[in-house]
């Protein structure tokens, strides 16, 4: 099965995008492709969210790991035009192995850029099956090599175990650049949500010399922060207001349990390695792309993070998807915005190839 929407919607997102200013920050708005009204949920997201509201009592608790890690409500679809080679490597890492997946497209050329992708899932969930369709698509559209590590998950592994695995995966890609056919100076690190936090940790520990571009999709940048009780930053039309607030509150309510289960007393939520907004010196960051969602409470700290980077002289592009909520990237082939993000990432990789 292919796209669950008309492919023309991708062109509508791009064609109707515009630049605006929010709190002194320049932001590119990627609109809902088939509803020109302001402050409306994307119709596909609205439908899924209303189903979740009806079944809220069936949602897995934070103590149900099987419930968190098995998410049948997040199907993805393959959108390739051809075939992309996938290899699996068990990377040695001191007393353990890290499972790496590598996609090499048929249009790959030697010394290409590479993407190291760090998945989201509150540091406790997510695996290659949830992201393989996105990543093989990015490889095909960009001609770049894409690498995905299965880092250790909380609560079985507390912080900083996830960070250590991701940094080791980045080191592996740089050290094996010749075998992978990539340029070690053209590595993009990217991630969604918790993966965005891990992306920032990789930059902090290895610097702009190792990471040529950071692409962060609604990143978690302030585990210690309060996203507030108000809804004034998330206006919605009257007949969708309850759904928008349901999605916002769902994420707000998750912060406390997530910090407790992931940190386990070993790291403070104020540590910049897991809360990049706490970082005092951002000057060693490469260019950064930050993707946000209109109905995501993380959008507020993400905009603050973008402002902080920009005030440090870092080249930052902020892209907001109107009508979307947290997690839309997971629904590849279901939400056109997920495909659009993949195309933006592929375009960044193609730009890196000629720089």
Domains observed in the chain: 7-354 (3.40.50.1820)
pLDDT digits (tens, 9 = 90+) for 308-354: 999 999 999 999 999 999 999 999 999 999 999 999 999 999 999 99
What is the structure's pLDDT at 161? 96
How far apart, in whole angstroms, are the C-alpha atoms of residue 239 and residue 35? 15
Residues pairing with 29 in the sheet? 18, 320
Residues lower than pLDDT 50 in the chain: 58
pTM recorded for the entire structure? 0.96
Q: Are 235 and 39 in contact (CB under 8 A)?
A: yes
The number of residues making up the chain comes to 355
What is the structure's pLDDT at 53? 86
Which residue among 112, 142, 193, 338 is the active-site one?
A: 193
Residue from 223, 310, 207 nearest 270 by CA: 223
Residue 250 CB contacts under 8 Å (≥ 6 apart), including other chains? none
| Active site annotation includes 193 | yes
What radius of gyration, in Å, describes the C-alpha atoms of the chain? Answer: 19
What is the structure's pLDDT at 291? 98
What is the structure's pLDDT at 255? 65
């Amino acid at each position: 099965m292919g796209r669950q929407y008309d492919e023309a919607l991708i062109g509508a997102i791009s064609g109707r995008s515009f630049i605006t200013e929010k709190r002194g920050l320049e932001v590119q708005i990627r609109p809902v492709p088939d509803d020109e009204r302001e402050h409306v949920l994307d119709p596909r997201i609205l439908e899924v969210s209303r189903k979740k509201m009806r079944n809220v009592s069936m949602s897995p608790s934070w103590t149900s790991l099987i419930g968190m890690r098995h998410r049948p409500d997040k199907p993805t679809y393959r959108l390739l035009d051809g075939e992309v080679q996938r290899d699996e490597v068990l990377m040695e890492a001191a007393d353990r192995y890290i499972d790496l997946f590598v996609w090499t497209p048929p249009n790959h050329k030697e010394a290409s850029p590479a993407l190291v992708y760090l998945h989201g899932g509150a540091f406790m969930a997510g695996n290659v099956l949830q992201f393989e369709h996105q990543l093989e698509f990015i490889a095909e559209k960009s001609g770049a090599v894409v690498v995905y590590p299965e880092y250790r998950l909380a609560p079985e592994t507390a912080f900083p175990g996830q960070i250590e695995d991701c940094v080791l995966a980045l080191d592996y890609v740089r050290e094996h650049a010749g075998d992978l056919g990539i340029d070690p100076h053209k590595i993009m690190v990217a991630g969604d949500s918790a993966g965005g936090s891990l992306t920032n940790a990789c930059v902090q520990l290895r610097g702009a010399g190792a990471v040529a571009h950071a692409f962060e999709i609604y990143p978690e940048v302030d585990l210690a922060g309060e996203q507030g009780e108000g809804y004034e930053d998330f206006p919605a039309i009257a007949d969708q207001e309850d759904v928008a607030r349901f999605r916002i509150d769902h994420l707000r309510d998750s912060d406390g349990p997530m910090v407790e289960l992931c940190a386990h007393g070993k790291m403070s939520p104020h540590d910049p390695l897991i809360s990049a907004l706490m970082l005092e010196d951002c000057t060693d960051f490469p260019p950064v792309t930050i993707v946000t969602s209109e109905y995501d409470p993380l959008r507020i700290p993400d905009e603050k993070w973008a402002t902080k980077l920009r005030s440090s002289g870092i080249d930052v592009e902020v892209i907001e998807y109107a009508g979307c909520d947290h997690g839309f990237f997971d629904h590849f082939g279901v939400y056109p915005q997920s495909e659009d993000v993949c195309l933006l990432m592929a375009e960044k990789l193609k730009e890196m190839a000629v720089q």
